[in-house]
A and B are shown apart, each in its own frame.
Chain A
Amino acid sequence: MDLLAPPLAKPCSFRHGVHPQENKQFTNREPLERMPFVDTYFLPLSQHIGAPARALVGPGDRVVRGQKIAEPGSYVSTAHHAPVTGTVESIELRPHPNGKLMESIVIRSDPFSDQRLPEKAPLVLGDKDALIKQVQQAGIVGLGGAAFPSHVKLSVPEGKRAEFLIINGCECEPYLTCDHRLMLEQPAGVIRGLQIIMEQLDVGRGYVGVEMNKADAIYKLEALAKPHENIVIVPLAVKYPQGAEKMLIEAVLKREVPEGKLPIDIEVVSYNVGSAVAIAQLVDHGTPLIERIVTVTGPAVSKPRNLLVPIGTPVLSVLEHCGLQVSRLRQLIMGGPMMGMAQKDLDAPILKGTSGLLALDSLQVAEREEMPCIRCGRCLDACPMFLNPSRLAMMARAEWAEELEAHHLMNCFECGACSFVCPSFIPLAQLMRLGKTVVRQHKQKEASA
């Protein structure tokens, strides 16, 4: 970090939220490295919300790295590409990080291939519909974790308009540093992606929101943004969940997304930094989304680092490359420790939305015994959506669907801040999920009645 640089502006933020221990120091100085190619890759046809993709290849087909191997199944769906040159072995049910068995394309890599990506001409900008189609065909999705198909947000729905574009570089999850390293090592890509999307959406102002614990990235981005009047780098307070879309919009623009509405309803569109860079690479080099940055960290790996991993690489290979100590591993989390998903199978592959692998050697939460609620109100002060988790948890246990809905449970996006602060170790976030299921089932029952 440049000590002579001028002090940053006062950081913006949202109200409420929590301060988990950051634990980013293990990997935030590890430059991006490329994960070596492995034997076998598993590409689930369904990697995100929306319809699964349709396979274009069959067993025995030879595929080249970057070749399209699956077609989008519907509008809210994206294509998939071969992460490696090799042969399609089969299309079969394989373990998926969501815990189920899912239809996946199994590719055996060719050990004699040079694995070079075929060169493609840069795209010609101008035709907006063409870009939307190309982004979908390139398989680009939100790389922050939810993996929402990016092309869907590249057009503004009829009757609405976009005024502001926010690039999300918060990375508020503890441990994760993949977005930090990306902004630090490819700041030009971030700004380029921002400009492409701004032009596509006819947006007047673009922002990049970055938490203050990534000051080095903020300086680099600011230097690049200086010539552009309509691009602002916004330093944000280090607070969880700063990277949640609604919180980010509140922090940057002081606007609240109304209940049940989307950011576009208040003229905002947001993208993760990774997605912005992916779009820039597609436009400038024709590269489809075949690899992503994954932070591999945690006490059970001896060489924590930020890896550029081909999508479809089995989790075990990635962990072993980072010095996994199998005997110490007690819990493996895909994503960050606040919203990630515990894994049961090390054969599951890295997906487009996998931002991190966290190998823990102890259980902080799972072994805690729940105690009675003492109504201390800490969950109310933590909830960024201003809900009353203690009360909602009680209603969820009682399965009061109508009450739950009346108390705005559906606003909850399961950030886990309530569980994090609860001194009685009540699994509040889990009960919120249960409550949502109760509400959905109740609605289905009403609709069918």
Chain B
Amino acid sequence: MTNTPPRLTISTSPFVLEGASTPDLMGKVIYALLPVLLAAAWFFGVAALLLVATACLGAMATEWFFATKRQGLGSLTDGSALLTGLLLGLTLPPGLPLWMAFLGGFIAIALGKLIWGGLGNNMFNPALLGRAFLQAAFPEAMTKLWLVPRFGPEQSFFDFTGFFHVPDSLLAMPLMRASADGFSGATPLGLAKFDGQITEISRVFLGNISGSLGETSALLLLVCGAWLAWKRVLNWRGPLATLLSVLVFGSLLHLIAPESCPPPGFMLLSGGLLFGAVFMVTDPVTTPITSTGLWIFGFGLGLLVVVIRVYGGLQECVMFAILFMNGLTPLINRITQPRQFGG
């Protein structure tokens, strides 16, 4: 009676899976970033696409160069390098020279991820580490090359003029200084801090402002974040805690010192806060693993953002605040271990 089929497989339970895989999750985040990228392209012209593409190229080339030896395309197929490149590209000022974006992509993957042991082992958000490197290495380019969107306040949103214009600074030769041309403008946070001028909330909300590529349209970021939360790709606790924390501390400071602290609504929608909350606080690797930990992370992040924005010299501070909280993550994990059942 031993006509056992030869292909019977032995493995251990469970024999079924929920189905979502890590590359699927990365893919969904990448899909969610596409509308943001398209909006950036619409506001800043083809320059945005070039810049993001270069950052992605830098990231993926680095991943391929260092990590393929083990097996075929190896870790390039998990989508994490593309995602890091996209995230990095979208945090850059639209007038940045392309070679700097490429270098940023390289640093993000090489020093932000691979040197720690690859996916899942890095302590700091790779994209933000790449950006921090650029900020430290090229402070002028990173803070001066904010382009003004193609549309003036009175112009129609459906206007193609200047879409294909590529600013000279973008094409600067490697290791040469890039100079801002006539398109440069100040970001709303810079205007608020140094000129005491608050940009209209509606403009900040829709995105027709100067700023990094991905952080300009608050509306789009909220929609994409909501989609990711609905698809259960991101843990909503992190972003919610961050925004609530900024709202609470921003309101408090605004009540105490209205002259130095802009209104909380403006605080929430401007700068890299929403982009960071939706796409950086939700990077599972560099944020706490426990839900309680995520609340603590978001709470601390919001506090840091408000404090740096109001009292610090940097206007674009979300990056440093997130990197700082990334560093605290192992400690937060340690103090928020779940209380075991029946204990």
Contact = CB atoms under 8 A, between A and B. Distances in A.
Interface of A: 18, 20-21, 99, 174, 246, 250, 256-259, 261, 314, 316, 326-327, 329-333, 335, 337-347, 358, 360, 363-366, 368, 371-377, 380-381, 383-388, 390, 407-408, 411, 414, 416, 419-421, 423-425, 427, 429-430, 433
Given A257-B342, A423-B25, A329 B1 contact: no
A376 B284 contact: yes
A9 B119 CA distance: 47
Contacts of B10: 99, 342-344
Contacts, number: 171
A18 B18 contact: yes
B11 interface: yes
B343 to A, nearest CB: 5
Interface stretch (B172-180, B185-193, B220-228, B333-341): B333-341
Interface of B: 1-5, 7-18, 20-25, 78, 118-121, 235, 284-285, 288-291, 337-343
Contacts of A18: 18
Contacts of B288: 377
B338 A342 contact: no
Nearest to B341: A385
24 contacts: A246-B341, A258-B342, A259-B341, A316-B3, A326-B5, A329-B5, A330-B9, A337-B16, A340-B15, A365-B17, A372-B120, A374-B119, A374-B120, A377-B288, A377-B290, A385-B340, A385-B342, A411-B341, A423-B20, A423-B21, A423-B24, A423-B25, A424-B22, A430-B12
B203 to A, nearest CB: 36
A261 B78 CA distance: 44
A187 to B, nearest CB: 30
Contact of A342 (B11, B121, B339): B11
B284 A408 contact: no
A249 B25 CA distance: 35
A174 B1 CA distance: 30
Contacts of A407: 337
A52 B90 CA distance: 67
Main secondary structure of the interface of B (DSSP, over half): loop
A259 B291 contact: no
A174 B13 CA distance: 13
A327 B341 contact: no
B9 A342 contact: yes
Contacts of A408: 340, 343
The 7 closest A-B pairs by CB, nearest first: A416-B14, A372-B120, A366-B11, A376-B284, A386-B338, A408-B340, A377-B289
B341 A344 contact: no
A146 B13 CA distance: 15
A21 B17 CA distance: 9
B119 A329 contact: no
A405 B273 CA distance: 41
B284 A259 contact: no
A21 B3 CA distance: 32
A289 to B, nearest CB: 25
A26 to B, nearest CB: 14
A342 B12 contact: yes
A259 B342 contact: yes
B211 to A, nearest CB: 29
A13 to B, nearest CB: 14
Given A343-B10, A365-B14, A424-B21, 7 more contacts: A261-B342, A373-B120, A376-B284, A380-B338, A383-B338, A420-B17, A429-B12
A340 B22 CA distance: 26
Given A258-B343, A374-B285, A375-B284, A337 B15 contact: yes
Given A372-B118, A423-B21, A429-B13, A330 B7 contact: yes
Contacts of B1: 314, 316, 347
